[in-house]
Every structure is written in C-alpha cells, then in structure tokens.
Amino acid sequence: MNTPALRRKPVISDLLRFKTAADPRVAPGGARVAFTIKAIDVAADKYTQQIHVWGPATGGVNAVRQWTHAAAGASGQSWSPCGEWLYFVSSRKDDRSAIHRINVHGGEAELVLLADAGALGEWVLSPCGGKLVYTVIHKDVAAERKAVAGKSDVKPLPRVITKLHYRSEGSGFISARNPDVFLFDIETKESTPLQHGFDRTPSDFVWSPCGGKVAFSINLSPDEQRLWADQGLYAFDISEGTTVRLTEQEGPKGSLSWSPCGGFIAWVGHGDRNETWGVTNEHLWVTNVASGESIDWMSTMDITVGDTTLVDVSGRGQTGPKWSRCGQKVRVVVSDKGVVSRLTLTGPNTVLESRPNVAAFDVAGPDHTFLEVGWDNAGVIRFPDDSVYDPNAELLSELALVEPVEIFSKTPSGHDAPSFVLRPAADGPAPTLVYIHGGPHTMYGAQNIFFEYQVLAAAGYCVIYPNPRGSKGYGEAWTMALKGNWGVPAMEDVMAGVDDAIARGWSDAERLGVVGGSYGGYLSGWIIGQTDRFKAAVPERGVYDLVSMAGTTDFPWRDTDYFPADTCGDTAAYREQSPLTYADRVVTPTMIIHSEGDLRCPVSQADQYFRAIKWADRAEVIFVRYGTESTHELSRGGVPSLRVDRQVRIHSWFSKYLLQK
C-alpha cells in the first residue's frame, strides 16, 4: 500500500478500473456471503458482472472467490433455505434471462427456470426452497429491451399504443399486456398461473414463513396509469387459491417482509395515495395480518427509508425492512441529512441502534453482512466475522483523494443550506464548479465518493455539491419547498453555498462554473437565465421546457398536481418555471449534453434549449448529442468509452473558460 505522500492525483481514465461491489446476501448460518462485482472490460467497451462468494476455502480459511464465469454474467443471487444452493439470474441461453443454481460443494451451474412465454421479471424463492413465484414480461417487451440495448436488428411492426404509460427509461417500450404471475415447482418443473383475482400485475412478493401464502402489493386505482401510488396489500393462499386483503391503509407499499412468527408484515411506504413525486417521506410500516391494523413505526421521524444518495462508482443492495430471528426487531436503511444509516427499531419510534454509512445489508439469523460506504472507497463488503473486502483496494492505494468538507451557508431566507466541498491542493481562491444533483428529490451523501468530482478537484477546481431545498433527507418541508417552484428556492440555496465558499477564501468569484444532470440540468439552465455570475455552464440531460416535458417524458405526468398548470389549458406556471423562457437572457458560454436514447428527459428538451440560446445569439453554445446507445444514465452507467468522452469534454470546456488565462 502506498503512503499518502506517494499517492498520485486521480485522472479520468481511472474510472475504467473501478469495480463495483453490490447486493450482499448472507447464507443461512452465516458461513457464506454472495455478492456481485461489476467491472469494465475496456477492450470490449462494456460491463461484466459476476457473483463472488466469501466463505470457507482451502484449509478452512475464509476467502473471496468468483463463483460465476459465463460471459453472460450473473446477478440476483439468493440462497436456498438450507444454504446448499445459490440461485441467480443469467442470460446464458438464447440471450434470455433465466434462473440458475449452483451447489456450494461445486459443480456446474444448472438451469432451473426459463420463462418460455417471455422475459423473466420478478421472482422469489419459497421458505422450503421447493417453489418459486415469478412474473413473465411478454415477448414484445423483451424484444424492445434488446433493441434499446442495440442487441437486435429486427425491424418491428408499427406499435399500436393504447396505454398512457407505454415506455420506460432504461427499458424501452412497454407491452400493452400486463406481465403474468406463475407458481413454479422446482422438482416437477411445472408452472401454474397464480390466479390472484386482479386484472393487473402484483409486485413485491413475499412468502409467509410456512410457505402457504404469498403476500403482494397491487395498484387499486381505477386508472393505474394515472395514480400508481394507490396500492393495496394482499395475501394469496396457495392451497385454497383465495386472495385476502390484509389492510385498508392507503398509499404506496413496497419491500414487503413477513415476520418469522407469521403475524406481521413490514413494508415501506406512506399514507398518501395521491403523492407520486417522492416528496413524502417513506417510512417503515408494520401490518398485523390478523387484524389489518397498520402502524407507522417512524411517525415522529422526519426522515425517509432507503438510500437516496446519488453516486457514480458505488453499488446498491437491499435496504430492508428485515426482521430479526426473534421477530422483535426490524432493520431498515434510512437517508438523513446526507448520511445513510441502518436503523434497528423495536417498535413505533423506538430506535435500538443506528449504524451509519451502511448503504445496504442482509441478515440471516444472528449473522449480518453490510455494504458500507465512505468518501475514500466505492463500497466495501463487511462479512459476518467483521472482516472487510474492498475490490478497489489496489486502485485506491494509488490515489490521493480529497476528503469532503460539509458547510452550512446562511441564505437570504434565514435558513442554513448544506453543501459538500472538495478543495484542491493549491492554496488561495480556486476556480470553482457547482455540481447540482438530479431528482430533484435525492441527495448527495456525506460519506459517498463521487469519483467524477474527485478528478475535477485533482485538476485544480474547488467542487461544491449542494443539497438545496428539494433534496431528500432533510425533512418533508425541505423537500416540499420545490413543489410548484423548481427554480427560485433551490437557486437561493445553491448561491448561498457559492458565496460562502468565496467568503472563506476557497473560491474565485471571477471563475465560477455550474453543471448538473437531469433536475441538475434544469437548475443549471435556470441559474444562467437569472444571473451572469458564471463564466461557463454544462447543463446535462435536463428539463428546459415543462410544457413539452409533461407530454413527452416516459412516466405519466399529472397536470395540476405538482405544478399548478395544465398542458391543455393554463400553461402559465409551466412557462414561468421553465429555463427555456429565459434562454434569451443567457450570456454564459454553455455546453449542452444530452442523449438520443434518453426517455426520462427526451432529447427534444435539449433541441429546444440549444435553438433558443443560439437564436438569441448572446452566448457561445454547443450541443453534444450522444446517440441512441446512450440513455438518461450515460454519466453513471453508459457505454464506458462514452462516459470517459463525456468527462473529457467537460474538463475541456471548463478549462477553456476557468483555467486558461
């Protein structure tokens, strides 16, 4: 390991060397932990993902070994109840996702289930290990997914679209037919349709401890396309073939977890069936299966369940809820003021333990495994014996990373706005980049590495990444502040952080740049339409015209809900809140980045914004337009060479205006 003095500054190409550990799963008895490692094959310009296992090796010493090797990769690992088999998903046959399993004593992986009728969707193994519940996504969707990924040259017939929600970012076009649900017997290889009594597809399946029932959540709204947060909690009895509603509690319900005694189901959600934008905190709820009573175990806590942080080289995994073996405790990951932590609750508003910097975890009996995060790593796995595995240890031992500083900056409105700052090694005021996150209802993490920002700091920039109003983790009022007003409150908080950094002597007021993606692209565009303080800007994959966004984004946008406007009526609030409206004021040199495969914020957003700035002819503007192989996730999960290309262009643009004299 290199000492800090011998370490070098990180560079863009280091991105290609990162390995991402994700989704740790501990086997019954704690003897083994399975997790995935995602890496980049530079020669093939693609990602590889394989399952690795920590456990007994030669001589009885625990070690990490790669368990899957097929070129198709593997994911979705799940242990059998006895711990003898590891189940996983891989597209080893005909490029179609299928369930396989491999024995812990060795041997080749064997095929368990190939969904003949279409593509494999959600699946969950029964407590006895003999059955599966799974969903099938129909063939037209599977073909579309291949086409989106550039894996098919089949020329499809014209689509006949009848549903409001007909396409989805990262997946492509959605079949008009809902996925089907089946019960699969692993020994007989027989699949039986699960007749749950609804004309739409359930999700978030969980088996009862005895294996006799399967609980699920399902949309109850008369129009599920318009109101997807109106969900019910039900249980299907396998032997009787009947379905029973378990609670009348309204609102979304996900991540179901049945207690070991069978008397309770824990789930994540809230009580507002109309809230679909992510403003409301999601809490841990527990439903009494017998009585139907549902209790919010976090009713007095102004925090949200789940990891809402944005990262570029770190992994994800399970965030709970997970019951303890005795059924007296429930564990979840929460986001709170820039920190993700695992909480252990023993009842309503009763926290037994808080373990910070845990992005994901799993538990089997008394044994735990964690995915832990830090500003100086991309996620490490902590095993039941408390040993730690860092797949990037060698790379990180070479790099001199910068520890972020958290600041709270006083705003004109009187509150303190939080930001994280990476300061370059050089003394004195530095050229500064403000990097705005997307969402808008997400957050930057205090202990999460954002490698792109580390490279910019190494290049000599002071990097400010704020959590302005609208961010998650700072309470519902903080998140709610952007409802109907995306621009003004967040800009005030961002500029407070900039002025604070200038006052501290960290930032050069004459060399400021602003950049951000998705909502961050929106706010970057909004800011340069309101002020000329920034010398360069890079809005990416942004929303610039709310009127056209409402009609072209992949999810059903609800007029007069989040914004007080209607695309077929009064559009005034949309236009008032759109950066496009103020594009003729922009004097900041601007590089717009967008991808043609983006379905969340369609490329037409950038088309309009580029044309408006170009037509006004008050600022230099260029449009970097990536092709259909790139989606909304270009910066985090796009084609590796294009991720590098994007960063090179950003460095070049800001160097031209902020570094060069």
- pLDDT for the residue 195: 86
Task: Calculate helix-pair angle for 488-503, 519-528, nearest 10 degrees.
Answer: 70
pLDDT, tens digit, for every residue of 113-164? 998 767 899 999 999 999 999 999 886 554 555 545 455 565 667 888 888 8
Give the model confidence (pLDDT) of 472-522 as tens digits. 999 999 999 999 999 999 999 999 999 999 999 999 999 999 999 999 999
pLDDT in tens, 208-266: 999 999 999 999 987 766 777 889 999 999 999 999 999 999 999 999 999 999 999 99
Residues 6+ apart with CB under 8 A from 576: none
Token output for 614: 């170009």
Q: How far is CA 487 from the centre of its chain?
A: 23
Average pLDDT over residues 87-98: 90
- What pLDDT score does 154 carry? 59
Distance CA(476)–CA(482), nearest Å, equals 11
Task: Please state, in angstroms and as integers, the Cα–Cα distance from residue 310 to each residue in 100, 269, 591, 600, following that order.
Answer: 32, 21, 23, 17
Q: Are strands 430-436 and 507-517 parallel, antiparallel or unpaired?
A: parallel
| Residue among 461, 653, 357, 512 at smallest CA distance from 10 | 461
Distance CA 378, CA 360 (A): 13
CA dihedral (375, 381, 386, 392) in degrees, to 10, reads: -60
Please give the average per-residue pLDDT across 95-115, as a whole number. Answer: 92
Higher per-residue confidence, 195 vs 338: 338
> Do you know the residue count of the chain?
661
| Longest CA pairwise span in the chain (Å) | 78
Backbone angles phi, psi at 497, to 5 degrees: -65, -40
> By the 8 A CB rule, do 226 and 559 touch?
no
The pLDDT, as a whole number, for residue 158 is 80
Q: How far is residue 241's CA from residue 231's CA, in Å, rounded to a whole number?
A: 21
User: pTM value?
Assistant: 0.95
CB 236, CB 214: distance < 8 Å:
yes
Tens digits of per-residue pLDDT, 33-47? 999 999 999 999 999
Query: Percent of the chain, pLDDT > 90?
Result: 84
| CA distance linking residue 415 with residue 581, whole number of Å | 29
pLDDT digits (tens, 9 = 90+) for 21-30: 999 999 999 9
- Which residue, among 317, 299, 184, 301, has the nearest Cα to 238 in the 3D structure? 184
CB atoms within 10 A of CB 84: 14
Q: Is the separation of the CB atoms in 517 and 541 below 8 Å?
A: yes
Which of these ranges, 94-108, 275-289, 427-441, has the smallest mean pLDDT?
A: 94-108
Average pLDDT over residues 183-207: 93
Q: What average pLDDT does the structure give for the chain?
A: 94
Contact 455, 14 (CB under 8 A): yes
419: enclosing H helix or E strand = strand 416-422
Burial 299-320 (b: 16+ CB within 10 A, else e): eebebbbbbbbbbbbbbebbbb
Q: Is the pLDDT of residue 112 over 90?
A: yes
Q: Is the pLDDT of residue 77 over 70?
A: yes
In this structure, the strands spanning 507-517 and 536-540 are parallel
Contacts of 448 (CB under 8 A, 6+ apart): 309, 310, 311, 314, 340, 359, 373, 375
| Percent share of the chain, pLDDT over 70 | 95
Average pLDDT estimate for 512-534: 98
pLDDT over 60 (residue 538): yes
For 530, residues 6+ apart whose C-beta sits below 8 A from its C-beta are: 487, 491, 582, 585
With 60 as the cut, is the pLDDT of residue 171 above it? yes
pLDDT at 139: 64
Nearest-angstrom CA–CA distance, 181 and 65: 35
C-alpha to C-alpha distance for 176 and 287, rounded to whole angstroms: 33
Q: Which two tokens stand for residue 531?
A: 């002020």
198: confidence class by pLDDT, cuts 50, 70, 90: confident
- Six-digit token pair at 413? 């409105």
Residue 87 is inside which H or E element, if any?
A: strand 85-93
Nearest to 193, CA basis, from 232, 136, 140, 231: 136
Write down the pLDDT at residue 1.
53
Residue of 542, 508, 510, 546 lying closest to 525 (CA atoms) = 542
In eight-state DSSP terms, residue 12 is G
Mean pLDDT on 580-590: 98
The gap from C-alpha 307 to its chain's centroid, in whole angstroms, comes to: 8
Q: Are 635 and 595 in contact (CB under 8 A)?
A: no
**57 or 327, which is more confident?**
327
Q: Which amino acid is at 205?
A: F
**Which has the minimum average pLDDT: 173-177, 354-358, 521-525, 601-605?**
173-177
Segment 652-661 shows an average pLDDT of: 91
Q: At what angle do helices 451-458 and 640-654 cross, to 10 degrees?
A: 40
Specify whether the CB–CB gap between 248 and 288 falls below 8 A. Answer: no
647: which 2 tokens?
Answer: 């960063």
Separation of alpha carbons 412 and 490, rounded Å: 12
Domains and CATH numbers, the chain: 398-659 (3.40.50.1820)
What pLDDT is recorded for position 161?
86
Find residue 181's DSSP bridge partners: 135
10 Å CB burial of residue 71 (0-12, 13-18, 19+) is: exposed
Q: pLDDT tens digit string along 366-405?
A: 999 999 999 999 999 999 999 999 999 999 999 999 999 9
Local confidence band at 5 (pLDDT 50, 70, 90 cut-offs): low
Q: What is the CA 402 to chain-centroid distance, rounded?
A: 24
Residue carrying structure tokens 């998140």 = 479
